[in-house]
A and B are shown apart, each in its own frame.
Chain A
């Protein structure tokens, strides 16, 4: 168990809908990362927050947004969902934000868009 929790574990929704994925980092970790894992694209970095501020951005669609709250938990909002958004979404956390920081991954949220 990495200490990172994600809810919900599974989510089934319809195209056009909006969902929110939640992540609680390990105790003491200030940095949160979101990743998308799909069969065709592999594991792709979406966005990183450090202590409430956006730190780095990857291949995140404009329909997706994230935030990190004062208690350091983070939410990833996915809107106007398309079939292609079906994937595993992982949250990871690390103590700080540099290259030397080990990222600890949560168990993921499996999203199915029908």
Chain B
């Protein structure tokens, strides 16, 4: 079983939609969860970082961790064409373990 599994997508939504991106993880000891965004032909950049359970909000982005079900989510409100990218969930142990990424396209 992979340590982190991510819905592969791709996902195509109209501008203004709410987007939900999801990952599951295998080890209940994991505590540090991240979401990275990667534009085409660029390196990943950190979007959100969450420790343990709960929600964290930053503008239009909300990261959610449900430790009971080992589920992590990223919600994007009022999605924009500029949000079109690959979104990678990641878990930090002594190294970053990434999901395979979900390609999101927001159509104007």
**B57-103, CB < 8 A from A:** 88, 92, 94-101
Using CB atoms and an 8 Å cutoff, list the residues of chain A in contact with chain B. Answer: 2, 4, 33, 42-45, 48, 56, 58, 90, 92, 99, 102-108
Q: CA of A33 to CA of B101 in the docked complex: distance in angstroms?
A: 19
Which one of B43, B94, B95, B101 lies within 8 Å of A105 (CB-CB)? B43
Let me know if B98 and A43 touch, CB within 8 A: yes
Task: Kindly provide the distance from the CB of A20 to the nearest chain B CB, expressed in whole angstroms.
Answer: 19
Question: Which B residue sits closest to A48, measured CB to CB?
Answer: B95
Interchain Cβ contacts under 8 Å between A and B, 19 examples: A2-B45, A42-B99, A42-B100, A42-B101, A43-B98, A43-B101, A45-B95, A45-B96, A45-B97, A45-B98, A56-B94, A92-B43, A99-B32, A99-B92, A102-B46, A103-B96, A104-B46, A105-B45, A108-B43
Q: CA of A106 to CA of B45 in the docked complex: distance in angstroms?
A: 9
Most buried by A among B43, B95, B96, B98: B43
Task: Kindly provide the distance from the CB of B99 to the nearest chain A CB, expressed in whole angstroms.
Answer: 7
Q: CA of A102 to CA of B37 in the docked complex: distance in angstroms?
A: 13
Task: Kindly provide the distance from the CB of B33 to the nearest chain A CB, expressed in whole angstroms.
Answer: 10
Q: CA of A102 to CA of B45 in the docked complex: distance in angstroms?
A: 9
- Additional A-B contact list (18), CB under 8 Å, known A43-B98, A44-B98: A2-B45, A4-B43, A42-B100, A43-B88, A43-B101, A45-B96, A45-B97, A56-B94, A90-B43, A99-B32, A99-B92, A102-B49, A103-B96, A104-B45, A104-B46, A106-B43, A107-B41, A107-B43
Question: Which B residue sits closest to A47, measured CB to CB?
Answer: B95
Let me know if A42 and B98 touch, CB within 8 A: yes
Q: CA of A58 to CA of B94 in the docked complex: distance in angstroms?
A: 10
Task: Kindly provide the distance from the CB of B74 to the nearest chain A CB, expressed in whole angstroms.
Answer: 16
**Residues of B contacting A90 with CB < 8 Å?**
43-44
**B1-55, CB < 8 A from A:** 32, 41-46, 49
Q: CA of A12 to CA of B33 in the docked complex: distance in angstroms?
A: 35
Question: Which B residue sits closest to A97, measured CB to CB?
Answer: B94
Q: CA of A95 to CA of B65 in the docked complex: distance in angstroms?
A: 26
